[in-house]
Amino acid sequence: MKLHIALLPGDGIGPEIVGEAVKVLDAVAARYGHSFHYTPALVGASAIDATGDPYPEETHKICSEADAVLFGAIGDPKYDNNPQAKVRPEQGLLRMRKSLGLYANLRPIELFDTLADRSPLREEVVRGTDFICVRELTSGIYFGRPQGRDDDGNRAFDTCTYTRAEVERVVKLAFGLAMKRRKKLTVVDKANVLETSRLWRETAQQIGKEFPEVALEFMFVDNAAMQIIRQPSHFDVVVTENMFGDILTDEASVISGSLGMMPSASLGDKSALFEPIHGSYPQAAGRNIANPMATILSAAMLLEHFGLDREGKAIRQAVNDALEAGVVTEDLVKTGEAARSTTDVGAYICSRIA
């Protein structure tokens, strides 16, 4: 297969971790006879520094023309809490998602057995955890209008808005994922209070008739937050609105014991973007100490998106081999063991694939 991949390393450790993921993709291409072509582009603080825009038009053109986007991280301390900054790196990420129509964010919550003792939860609770969260990404309270404050500044308001079409497309995607997995879908809402949640529930019930093989359940968001910690193995596919998804996926991400292990995908009708969920970690930039595994696992999701399941599985197995062999960066190193560099970890994973 031939794939054209837009590379957006971004800021901080982004160039280092994306660089290792590209090496792994090249190892996959060599072993399985594929051809991957890469086009780099600017985004975030690096784009502001070069063009004044965190998501330049040239970057959008490259992303739109590519089969997929592999993205690193956005953020730079010089723009944090800086009242002088007219634009911020994070604006580039929001605009990229909206411009590319990336309406569904997928975060797999999977625990590698080797890391069970790193989770803040008890091993017997987290073992067997393997579910995926689907978060609606381009609507809801983060994008609703009107929003603002009254003239005296003492009353603020935000508006949560969803259309049936916006709910349908992400719920159908979630049902499709459930069909490929264990055929169970949990819709998380607050239908006892919110009208938008009642629209979500009503829409999911209607679509569920098209997928009679999928066991459909509904769970209020407060209960879901508790059950993800109490019994994460209960879940298979979880789908929810934007703000609930933002909170729940961050909560669920700690189960693995390290943000450095968490990949994600953002999907639209035409575009697909793959990225680690962690930030730009500017303190580690250029030091060759960042964990590249989340980005490498995001590359595995990229391949699986195009039906290359065997290749994605090969990457996951190689990552597991590195974990079991102790070839890990400082965030995962056990007491008494030596941490390995970013490039060491990438090279080992490549060697296992080859």
- The rounded distance, in Å, linking the Cα atoms of 52 and 85 is 11
- In CATH terms, is domain 1-104+260-354 a member of 3.40.718.10? yes
Fold type of domain 120-256: Isopropylmalate Dehydrogenase (3.40.718)
What is the sign, positive or negative, of the torsion defined by CA atoms of 119, 124, 128, 129? negative
- Count Cβ neighbours within 10 Å for each residue of 143-171 and write b for 16 or more, e otherwise: bbeeeeeeeeeeeeeeebebeeebbebbb
Fold match between domain 1-104+260-354 and domain 120-256: yes
Tokens at 217, concatenated: 């359940």
- Sign of the CA dihedral 331, 225, 172, 313? positive
Q: List, in order, residues 6 or more apart from 237 with CB less than 8 Å away.
A: 131, 132, 134, 174, 177, 178, 181, 184, 185, 186
What angle do helix axes 309-325 and 342-353 make, rounded to 10 degrees? 130
Local structure of 26: helix, strand or coil: helix
Q: How far apart are CA 201 and CA 166, in angstroms?
A: 13
Parse the chain into domains and list their residue ranges. 1-104+260-354, 120-256
Q: Do 6 and 41 meet the contact criterion of CB atoms below 8 Å apart?
A: yes
Q: Is the dihedral of CA 29, 30, 35, 41 positive or negative?
A: positive
What is the Cα–Cα distance from 273 to 348, expressed in whole angstroms?
25
The sign of the torsion formed by the CA atoms of 67, 73, 79, 83 equals positive
CA distance 298 to 73: 13
Averaged pLDDT, groups of 10, the chain, 354 residues long? 98 98 98 98 96 97 98 91 78 91 95 87 91 95 90 92 97 97 98 98 98 98 97 97 94 86 95 95 95 97 97 97 95 88 98 96
The answer to whether 217 touches 185, Cβ cutoff 8 Å, is: yes
How far, CA to CA in Å, does 242 sit from each of 17, 95, 117, 233? 27, 16, 31, 23
β-strand partners of 156: 149
Which residues does the annotation mark as catalytic?
A: 142, 190, 222, 246, 250
pLDDT on residue 256: 84
CA dihedral 308, 314, 316, 318 (to 10 degrees): -150
Q: Distance of CA 74 to CAs 71, 90, 210, 216, Å?
A: 9, 6, 39, 36
Residues 6+ positions from 193 with CB-CB distance below 8 Å: none
Angle between helices 293-305 and 309-325 (to 10 degrees): 160
Q: Which pTM does this prediction carry?
A: 0.92
Nearest partner of 232 among 129, 302, 309, judged by Cα: 129
